[in-house]
Chain A
Amino acid sequence: NAGVTQTPKFQVLKTGQSMTLQCAQDMNHEYMSWYRQDPGMGLRLIHYSVGAGITDQGEVPNGYNVSRSTTEDFPLRLLSAAPSQTSVYFCASRDRGYSPLHFGNGTRLTVT
């Protein structure tokens, strides 16, 4: 059981470039989300989805897009990378109700 799979693990971008962080889960979870982690800030929610075709913004959505065409996949797109988007990104999913989040292993993104 793979759980939540994130790719890539590391990425370096130049300012203005675009890219997509991939996230897939094989647990048939309806809920998926993206967080970013910065030193001293904890984890902050970027976007989330409660099912295929349904997405919504979290606390820090600016500069990011998401889509949810299938239950399994929830990619995060950076439209025009900025140095402020240098961070560690986590994808997570959970089952219904008060279930705990299952996390991917994270992507360390550096924007120069």
Chain B
Amino acid sequence: AQTVTQSQPEMSVQEAETVTLSCTYDTSENNYYLFWYKQPPSRQMILVIRQEAYKQQNATENRFSVNFQKAAKSFSLKISDSQLGDTAMYFCAFPYGGSQGNLIFGKGTKLSVKP
């Protein structure tokens, strides 16, 4: 079975510091994408970043970057210069069944950014 595991239910970080959220997954596929979504208290689901498995270069979106290790099936999210607005639930997601498949989500990491 294909699974997505987020091992940190809650984390906290001081404003302006860096934090890394971990995600591991299990798949037998070779070509796929991975996603990180953010859910602030407003409940809205917001795409943060995505990584293409066939690319060795790690994806970066402003202060957000990933450390993608395909062989280890690891997909961590690094948030640099944390801001109060980064306080949210963060979900790692992976599509099983190939490009036509459904996203399965990890259980999430609740991140609190403290002033």
Contact = CB atoms under 8 A, between A and B. Distances in A.
Interface of A: 31, 33, 35, 40-45, 48, 50, 58, 88, 90, 92, 96-98, 100-101, 103, 105-106, 108
Contacts of A58: 102
A98 B100 CA distance: 8
Nearest to A94: B103
B107 A40 contact: yes
B99 A97 contact: yes
B50 A106 contact: no
> When A and B form their complex, which 9 residue pairs have the shortest distance between CB atoms, in order from nearest?
A103-B45, A98-B33, A42-B107, A42-B105, A43-B105, A100-B47, A97-B99, A106-B43, A98-B99
A96 B43 contact: no
Interface in B54-109: 91, 93, 95, 99-100, 102-108
B25 interface: no
24 contacts: A33-B102, A40-B9, A41-B107, A42-B91, A42-B105, A42-B107, A42-B108, A43-B91, A43-B105, A44-B105, A45-B102, A45-B103, A58-B102, A88-B43, A92-B45, A96-B99, A98-B33, A98-B95, A101-B45, A101-B103, A105-B44, A106-B43, A106-B44, A106-B45
Interface of B: 9, 32-33, 35, 43-45, 47, 50, 52, 91, 93, 95, 99-100, 102-108
B102 A48 contact: yes
A7 B43 CA distance: 14
By secondary structure, the B interface counts as: strand
Nearest to A4: B45
Nearest to A103: B45
Among A40, A58, A103, A105, the one with the most B-chain Cβ atoms within 10 Å of its Cβ is A103
Contacts of B33: 98
